[in-house]
Amino acid sequence: MQDVLAMTYYWIKAGHIIFMVFWMAGLFMLPRQMIYLHSAAPESEEAALWAKRMGLLRKVILTPSVIVVWVLGLLLAQSIGAWSQGWFHAKLAIVVALTAFHGMMVARSKKMAAGERPMTEKQLRIWGEFPGIALAIIVVLVVVKPF
């Protein structure tokens, strides 16, 4: 297995980065779409359109991307022996937090699509910053490997 991972390492790494970009794009877009839905009157045509867009974003981009990112990321970690490295533990903790954020936002977007408004626009704007901050920290951890 280790030989196969070594031969395909760069392909796995490329796939991991590509799907991480897709996932992050979706995580940036979902709170923004929720803000647009927030101002639409429940059960209006505009609300239905934003609910449909959020559903497509979840189904086409977010869910497949998070699955591929995790699978390829775990393969990469195995292939480079990252389990014993401090930077990887920090990165993994942030990725777990991003995955929890993903789940929280998906659940809240579904509630919003059903007509509820579980968060204010201000809360959505604040939460919308989390993926960018997490991404910046992850990039520093992976590139610099400070510990």
Residue 89 labeled ligand binder: no
Per-residue confidence (pLDDT) for residue 6, from 0 to 100:
72
| 58: DSSP letter | I
Per-residue confidence (pLDDT) for residue 88, from 0 to 100:
97
Low-confidence ranges of the chain (pLDDT < 50): none
Per-residue confidence (pLDDT) for residue 42, from 0 to 100:
86
Query: What is the Cα–Cα distance from 28 to 25, expressed in whole angstroms?
Result: 5
Per-residue confidence (pLDDT) for residue 17, from 0 to 100:
98
Are 110 and 59 contacting, i.e. CB atoms less than 8 angstroms apart? Answer: no
Task: Note the pTM of the prediction, 2 decimals.
Answer: 0.92
Instruction: Write out the two tokens for 58.
Output: 């979840």
Per-residue confidence (pLDDT) for residue 3, from 0 to 100:
76
CA angle 14–16–18, rounded 5-degree value: 70
**DSSP H or E run through 82:** none
Which residues lie closer than 8 Å to 143 by C-beta, 6 or more apart?
none
Per-residue confidence (pLDDT) for residue 133, from 0 to 100:
98
Query: What is the Cα–Cα distance from 64 to 58, expressed in whole angstroms?
Result: 8
Are 142 and 85 contacting, i.e. CB atoms less than 8 angstroms apart? Answer: no
Per-residue confidence (pLDDT) for residue 1, from 0 to 100:
67
Per-residue confidence (pLDDT) for residue 22, from 0 to 100:
98
